[in-house]
Structure 1
Amino acid sequence: MKTIRFYSILFSLTFICIVSSCKKNTKEKINKTVTEKVVPENLKWSERMVLSEIERFPDPTLLDFRKKPKWSYTPGLVLSACAKVYEQTKNKKYYDYVYAYADQMIDSSGTIDTYKLSNQNLDMIKSGDVLLYLYPKTKEERFLIAMETLNGQLESQPKTSDGGYWHKKIYTNQMWLDGLYMAEPFHTRYAKEYINDKAKQQKIYNDVVHQFDLIQKHSRDQKTGLLYHGWDESKEQRWANKKTGNSENFWSRGMGWYGMALVDVLDFLPENHPRREKIIRYLNQYSEAVVKVQDESGLWWQVLDQPNKKGNYLEATGTAMFVYTLAKGVNKGYLPKSYLNFANKGYDGLINNLITVEDNGIVNLNKCCGVAGLGGKPYRDGSYEYYINELIRSNDPKGTGPFILASLELNR
């Protein structure tokens, strides 16, 4: 009997030790998980998203889920935002990430890998912003040569009969809202910082403003103040209205590109330029139209003016762009302060509805329209059905970049 009691007590003690040890190990594992955050949660959203992007794409040439490096506009968008975060934090990790893209894509002779001037593609200008940022810091001649190449493209870009840049050589006679953001901030800054001939400089400034004039003339709907995604001067495209040449719908990100173009060009267009106030007026008209179609959630719809139509959805990239545009417009004094309420409402909408955070701290931006365009192969007809059925994914750089910029403007 004593033997049975002895083993019973021994078993009980052993069981208690095992349970205690398991609890201790579990607690240690939990504590370890909590303390080992890839992205610390005590940082501002701008920095958290930059760190998340670096984790997702350790090689910046593969931003936008690429398998091979390519000179394109999406790295330029994210890395320009990353550079602004570096300027605030002085965390060299961010600067090195920006530099790594240019270092890999520009060879010692200044040749841009994968870039073809013959394509006359405005999208390819955007990453020139990275070079404009890096060259004054590094003084590497190859970056200057590459910038000169991109500026040269704009000097030879095919134009409509009234002087509007074709979006690409293959998109003849077409202006897209996207193109204003891809080219004009770069062109304006390059003229300001690298062209010493005052006459040539003034010519570029005038040409930049002219691009906005043409978009306002051809693409703005007088009734709503919204702007159509594309305009075909020839009216030959299947997506083009046979009377106006406009595409059919108001696409969220298309309008987002245009808003960012307006506020960013003003960073470099001289304050004494006689047509600067016109750009500010366009921005005010634009902002008035945009806030009228903001959803109660704070977000904006993929097709802006059709919130209740089947298949439409609240979309992240356009929303982030609108928030950035409105916030920066107020911060720079271009817009009434009341617009900051709409910007904050939009930002809250993103955080509450479209941002998720993984256990390791990585931040995700969800419900991003992956891509949308007009024409091409397979043919994109610009219909409502086309816009709502394009790829939807998380962490598209066309959303994460503007989200970082919006976070900076709102200091959130």
Structure 2
Amino acid sequence: MDKALQDNIFRYIDELLEKSTPDRPIWNIEKILEGKKVDWNYIDGCMIKAVLEMYAITGEKKYFDFADNFIDYRVREDGSIDGYSVEELNIDNVNAGKTLFELYDLTGKEKYRKAIDLVYSQIEKMPRTKEGNFWHKNIYPNQVWLDGLYMGQPFYMEYETRFHGNKNYDDIYNQFFQVVKNMRDERTGLYYHAYDASREMFWCDKVTGLSSNFWLRALGWYAMALLDTLDKADPSVKEPYEKMKQIFVDLMDAMLRYQDESGMWYQVVNLGGMERNYLETSGSSIMAYALLKGVRLGFLDESYVAYGEKAFNGVCNTYLHVEDGNMHLDGICLVAGLGGATKRPGTFDYYMSEPIVKDDAKGVGPFLLAYTEMLRLQQR
């Protein structure tokens, strides 16, 4: 990674932080477009986690100060969180809770410890499918989305490891194993975006309960879920730990079969030749992170570094650019899901219809996480 690229990325991060406040983070494009007040949400959680990783790798206090101020602004002294409701039972909202562990360790603020317990109380209340998986949201009954594994399980695992004596490890591992059983496509090794255990939703196959496509970012979230959950687990719980490690390796191998010559992946992963399909930034950045961190943790062979570097450089070459004197990261799918008020059907045409934006944290956060892994690679 040449110095000019590094300078541009540091400049880009600094520009984003300088333009953002807890009430108006410039990277939360969804809230800006909706004209809504920012609350406790997974998008900001993803970004602040990346900022904390920047602090961990560079030691620059400005990153720590920004992250601490951002989360401190939302967390009250009694541990309650402005804009967060446990009773909403939305697994997305657990994601930002991961930042609390790190900030508690760095600051010793007792309110962060109390907030961790508050978020954990949602884990204890989440409704489940008949197989034992958390519903994605209370408003999506009996549905498991790949995204949700990333939003909930790394937090759940870290809490169990640090504060609960590994008590619910079996539950965590079982939720992943059920996803392999119910959502993995044997032919490609890829995973469908979502699963309806009730087989009632209009978007699902009435026999399998599965949605109809392999969406890149969902596969990315799932790869990160496997990796980051393992990272917080006690490896002495041998058998399920090793089994989940193999699931991660198998997923990486499956994804590499679809890596484009640019280094990136397509929005609908296995249909790269289809008209309107496009190389997408957020999922490609996540894959770069997963490959590089997977090697660093010893889950993947050293040879996988080349694929991770190719992915990261592909994102930079394709979508990182200067416009009107400012750095931007383009090619980010704003959002994708199933069902809901707009009756999202999960078809190929649907995934092509969602807006493509720049500088949204769902792309920027993973991009920065991948960048921290590139920096760690340099320091070895």
TM-score (norm 2): 0.92
Quick check: 1:77 aligned with 2:43? no
Match of 2:249? 284
Match of 2:236? 272
Who wins on radius of gyration, i.e. which is larger?
1
Match of 1:53? 16
Q: Is the 8 A contact 1:364 1:394 kept in 2?
A: yes
In the alignment, residue 182 of structure 1 is paired with which amino acid?
M
How far apart are residue 42 of structure 1 and its match? Answer: 7.5
Quick check: 1:205 aligned with 2:201? no
Aligned partner of 2:204 among 231, 235, 240: 240
Match of 2:331? 367
- Go from structure 1 to structure 2 and tell me whether the alpha carbon gap of 1:157 and 1:405 turns closer, same or farther (over 3 Å shift): same
Q: Deviations over 1:372-405 (max 9, x none)?
A: 0111101111011110110100011011111111
Aligned partner of 1:330 among 277, 284, 295: 295
Matched-pair identity in % = 37
CA distance in 2, matches of 1:85, 1:293: 29
Q: Is the 8 A contact 2:129 2:135 kept in 1?
A: yes
In the alignment, residue 175 of structure 2 is paired with which amino acid?
Q
The DSSP-based 3-state class of the residue aligned with 1:314 is coil
Q: Deviations over 1:309-349 (max 9, x none)?
A: 11111110010001111111111110122221211111121
Match of 1:100? 69
In the alignment, residue 374 of structure 2 is paired with which amino acid?
L
Aligned partner of 2:119 among 144, 150, 153: 150
Moved over 3 A (4+): 40-49, 58-61
User: 5+ residue gaps in structure 2?
Assistant: none
CA distance in 2, matches of 1:46, 1:125: 28
Q: Is the 8 A contact 1:46 1:403 kept in 2?
A: no
In the alignment, residue 89 of structure 2 is paired with which amino acid?
Q
Match of 1:170? 139
CA distance in 1, matches of 2:351, 2:237: 38
- Go from structure 1 to structure 2 and tell me whether the alpha carbon gap of 1:84 and 1:44 turns closer, same or farther (over 3 Å shift): farther
In the alignment, residue 207 of structure 1 is paired with which amino acid?
D
CA distance in 2, matches of 1:266, 1:61: 33
- Go from structure 1 to structure 2 and tell me whether the alpha carbon gap of 1:291 and 1:42 turns closer, same or farther (over 3 Å shift): closer
In the alignment, residue 392 of structure 1 is paired with which amino acid?
I
How far apart are residue 61 of structure 1 and its match? Answer: 5.5
- Go from structure 1 to structure 2 and tell me whether the alpha carbon gap of 1:112 and 1:125 turns closer, same or farther (over 3 Å shift): same
Match of 1:261? 225
Aligned partner of 1:401 among 332, 342, 365: 365
How far apart are residue 44 of structure 1 and its match? Answer: 5.3
CA distance in 1, matches of 2:169, 2:232: 9
How far apart are residue 142 of structure 1 and its match? Answer: 1.7
CA distance in 1, matches of 2:205, 2:76: 44
How far apart are residue 48 of structure 1 and its match? Answer: 3.7
In the alignment, residue 55 of structure 1 is paired with which amino acid?
E
CA distance in 1, matches of 2:51, 2:284: 19
Q: Is the 8 A contact 1:61 1:101 kept in 2?
A: no
Q: Which runs of structure 2 are paired with 1:179-258 in the superposition (5 Å)? A: 179-195=148-164, 198=165, 201-202=166-167, 204-258=168-222
Match of 1:15? none
CA distance in 1, matches of 2:28, 2:262: 28
Q: Is the 8 A contact 1:324 1:409 kept in 2?
A: yes
Q: Deviations over 1:69-102 (max 9, x none)?
A: 2100011111111111112222221111101221
How far apart are residue 43 of structure 1 and its match? Answer: 4.3
The DSSP-based 3-state class of the residue aligned with 1:231 is strand
